[in-house]
């Protein structure tokens, strides 16, 4: 028996997942931590939290499972994308990491477009310059912390700092690398033109690897810290969205992944490096060698529901909150919710977008507001779904839904009705960490490729079909929803501070 470990360093916790060579989950552990918001629009985190979480969580899963650590065949890595970690010549952290949800870099995004031209930027990288991406964060440090930039020698993404601590190697995977917008999407490596234009020395960047590739081996210090054997292979893995798609088997064209976590992601695998000309969809490399993906991201999906519960119904369980909402008619008697609590990415790359309830009357009760949140998030995700369909690169055969929000039968039904598509659930529920473990298994030779790994370990467990009356009602309501952002944009800009 061989075992595999997937490590997921997210914004709020580092999870370690131990699976066997049949894909069965043996043990799971997570170490939680916080992030800091020292100024409006800022979001930062100490990278040592990820390393501490990795060590603690690995030790916990080994203890839970009671397995001999020598039976672990490989480690795969995943984690939050787009963050900026800067190290000096000794490999020491120079400043807190700037995270994916940091919104301070709007001026730097404008400058990147000015230097390269938006059309050229999108043609090379597959993406417009957005505040969440890594490249504008680098420019921000260049311009605002020149003393830090002068000392910087290595640029890493969050999960790749964990890799560095495990192996001493400066390396990344192509999916996460593409999310920096410093990548040549077609060539699946760093773009000399973008680097030169942004005055970033190529030697500062890690080597890039396909998802199942071996990137290094466990060092003596890391072996001592984790309890794992010296020389254990550490596999490239993927950014959390690409690894999460592997974790639900969305690795072939036609199978769309819908991740309903704090943020919401609609993810579609493609066989080529297709670029949406306006850059409204993200186009990145997949963790599967030779494949790419299109992705739409909304920033406050299940995060909207958590905010709503904590603000208006604190102390109530989600089940108790959602049960009365099931009795509210589809469309909430004209009440709509805009889910832009932390700005938005797709289809409106606007850090100043704001949330709103629209259409409130005295007839609306708490269950109406609750259902409106569920429906508003579904409408926001449909924006991405429609962009992916209109791109013409994906013949959608199936939508696989995962994440905390997917546990709600009501929310799954609303999504199926809003999308007018069948939603299915699968047997795997550990998302990105499970995908990282599968990639580790491919890298260790347990499965010949990613397709084989997912075929042997992942299967459909449930289906939610759209219901005709609600589909028609939501089609009408969606058109009203689409009109709200353009109408309210001047007000959002006026109240932003």
Residues 241/288, Cβ–Cβ less than 8 Å? no
Looking at the fold, whether 158 and 43 belong to one and the same domain comes out as yes
pLDDT number for residue 279:
82
Q: Are 175 and 209 in contact (CB under 8 A)?
A: no
The region that residue 216 occupies, defined by phi over 0 for left and psi between -120 and 50 for alpha, beta otherwise, is left
Residue 196 CB partners (closer than 8 Å, separation 6+):
none
* Domain termination site, one of 191, 217, 248: 248
Q: What are the start-end ranges of the E strands in 225-321?
A: 233-239, 255-260, 264-270, 282-285, 292-298
Distance between CA atoms of 330 and 328, rounded to whole angstroms?
7
Give residue 275's pLDDT: 84
Q: What is the pLDDT along the chain (497 residues), one digit of tens a residue?
A: 899 999 999 998 999 999 999 999 999 999 999 999 999 889 999 999 999 999 999 999 999 999 999 999 999 999 999 999 999 999 999 999 999 989 899 999 999 999 999 999 999 999 999 998 999 999 999 999 999 999 999 999 999 999 999 999 999 999 999 999 999 999 999 999 999 999 999 999 999 999 999 999 999 999 999 999 999 999 999 999 999 999 999 999 889 999 998 889 999 999 999 888 888 899 999 999 999 999 999 999 999 999 999 999 999 999 999 999 999 999 999 999 999 998 898 999 888 999 999 999 999 999 999 999 999 999 999 999 999 988 877 788 889 998 889 999 999 999 999 999 999 999 998 989 999 999 999 999 999 999 999 999 999 999 999 999 999 999 999 999 999 999 999 999 999 86
Q: Can you point out the beta strands (E) in 70-213? A: 72-79, 85-87, 97-98, 154-156, 171-173, 183-184, 189-190, 207-209
Question: What is the Cα–Cα distance from 210 to 237, expressed in whole angstroms?
Answer: 8
Domain co-membership, 53 together with 140: yes
- Same domain membership, residue 363 and residue 231: no
| The last residue of a domain, from among 190, 213, 248 | 248
pLDDT attached to residue 396: 83
Residues 330 and 228 in one domain: no
Question: How far is 466 from 277, CA to CA, in rounded Å?
Answer: 31
State whether 39 and 177 are in the same domain: yes
Does residue 269 fall inside a structural domain? no
Dihedral sign, Cα of residue 287, residue 291, residue 425, residue 176: positive
Phi-psi region of 384 (alpha: psi -120 to 50; beta: other; left: phi over 0): alpha
Query: Residue 395: inside a domain, yes or no?
Result: yes
Here the tokens at position 352 are: 């100043």
Q: State pTM to two decimals.
A: 0.91
Q: How far is it, in rounded angstroms, from Cα 441 to Cα 14? A: 20
Closest CA to 435 of 283, 260, 237: 237
CA distances from 298 to 10, 355, 494 (A): 17, 12, 22
Same structural domain for residues 349 and 475? yes
Q: Which residue in 202, 233, 230, 229 sits closest to 215, CA to CA?
A: 233
| pLDDT at residue 101 in the model | 86
Residues marked as catalytic? 240
Distance in angstroms (rounded) separating the CA atoms of residues 40 and 49 = 22
One domain, residues 116 and 244: yes
Strands (E) located in 347-459: 356-358, 398-402, 423-426
Number of domains within the chain:
2
In a domain, 286, yes or no: no
**Is 450 part of a structural domain of the chain?**
no
Q: Classify residue 363: in a domain, yes or no.
A: yes
Assign 3-state DSSP to the chain and report helix, strand, coil percentages, each to 5: 40, 25, 35
Burial of 229 (0-12, 13-18, 19+ CB in 10 A): middle
What was the pLDDT predicted at 390?
86
- Joined together, the tokens standing for residue 21 give 């060579």
**What confidence score (pLDDT) does residue 162 get?**
98
50 plus 171 within the same structural domain? yes
State the Cα torsion 332-336-342-344 to the nearest 10°. Answer: 120
Q: Are residues 206 and 334 in the same domain?
A: no
**Containing structural domain, residue 475:** 297-426+467-495
Assess if residue 54 is contained within a domain.
yes
Q: What is the CATH number of the domain that holds 51?
A: 3.30.420.40
In a domain, 281, yes or no: no
Are residues 45 and 183 both part of a single domain?
Answer: yes
Cα dihedral 132, 135, 137, 143, rounded to 10, equals -150
* Same domain? 233 vs 307: no
Residue 262: what pLDDT? 85
190 and 182 Cβ atoms separated by less than 8 Å: yes
* Alpha-carbon gap, residue 303 to 300, rounded angstroms: 5
The length of the chain, given as a count of residues: 497
Q: Quick one: 307 exposed, middle or buried, by C-beta within 10 A (0-12, 13-18, 19+)?
A: middle
| 439 found inside a domain | no
Contacts of 191 (CB under 8 A, 6+ apart): 124, 125, 182, 183, 184
According to DSSP H, which parts of 256-401 are helical? 302-312, 318-322, 366-391
Same domain, 235 and 303: no
């Amino acid at each position: 028996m061989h075992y595999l470990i997937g490590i997921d360093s997210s914004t709020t916790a580092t999870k370690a997942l131990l699976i066997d060579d049949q894909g069965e989950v043996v043990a799971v552990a997570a170490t939680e931590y916080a992030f800091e918001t020292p100024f409006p629009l800022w979001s930062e985190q100490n990278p040592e939290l990820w390393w501490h979480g990795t060590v603690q969580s690995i030790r916990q899963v080994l203890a839970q499972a009671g397995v001999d650590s020598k039976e672990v065949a490989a480690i795969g890595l995943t984690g939050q994308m787009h963050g900026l970690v800067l190290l000096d010549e000794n490999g020491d952290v120079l400043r807190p990491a700037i995270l994916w949800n940091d919104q301070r870099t709007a001026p730097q995004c404008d400058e990147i477009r000015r230097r390269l031209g938006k059309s050229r930027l999108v043609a090379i990288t597959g993406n417009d310059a957005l505040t969440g991406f890594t490249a504008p964060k680098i420019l921000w440090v260049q311009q605002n912390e020149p003393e830090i930039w002068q000392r910087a020698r290595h640029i890493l993404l969050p999960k790749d700092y964990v890799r560095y601590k495990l192996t001493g190697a400066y390396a990344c995977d192509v999916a996460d690398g593409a999310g920096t917008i410093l990548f040549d999407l077609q060539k699946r490596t760093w773009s000399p033109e973008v680097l030169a234009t942004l005055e970033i020395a190529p030697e500062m960047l890690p080597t890039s690897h396909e998802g199942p590739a071996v990137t290094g081996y466990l060092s003596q210090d890391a072996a001592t810290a984790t309890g794992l054997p010296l020389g254990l292979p550490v596999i490239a893995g993927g950014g959390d969205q690409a690894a999460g798609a592997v974790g639900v088997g969305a690795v072939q064209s036609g199978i769309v992944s819908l991740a309903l976590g704090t943020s919401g992601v609609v993810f579609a695998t493609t066989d080529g490096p297709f670029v949406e000309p306006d850059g409204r969809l993200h186009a990145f490399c997949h963790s599967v060698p030779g494949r790419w993906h299109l992705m739409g991201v909304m920033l406050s999906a299940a995060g909207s529901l958590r905010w709503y519960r904590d603000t208006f119904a604190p102390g109530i369980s989600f089940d108790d909150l959602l049960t009365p909402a099931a009795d509210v008619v589809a469309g909430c008697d004209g009440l709509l919710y805009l889910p832009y609590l932390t700005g938005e990415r797709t289809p409106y790359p606007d850090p100043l977008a704001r949330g709103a309830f629209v259409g409130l009357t005295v007839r609306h009760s708490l269950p109406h507001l609750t259902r409106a949140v569920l429906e508003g998030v579904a409408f926001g995700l449909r924006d991405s779904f429609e962009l992916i369909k209109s791109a013409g690169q994906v013949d959608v055969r199936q939508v696989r839904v995962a994440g905390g929000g997917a546990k709600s039968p009501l929310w799954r039904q609303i999504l199926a009705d809003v999308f007018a598509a069948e939603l299915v659930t699968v047997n795997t529920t550990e998302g990105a960490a499970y995908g990282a473990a599968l990639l580790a298994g491919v890298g260790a030779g347990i499965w010949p490729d990613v397709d084989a790994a997912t075929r042997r370990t992942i299967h459909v467990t449930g289906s939610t079909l759209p219901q005709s009356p609600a589909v028609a009602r939501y089609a009408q309501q969606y058109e009203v929803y689409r009109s709200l952002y353009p109408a309210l944009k001047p007000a959002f800009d006026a109240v932003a501070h």
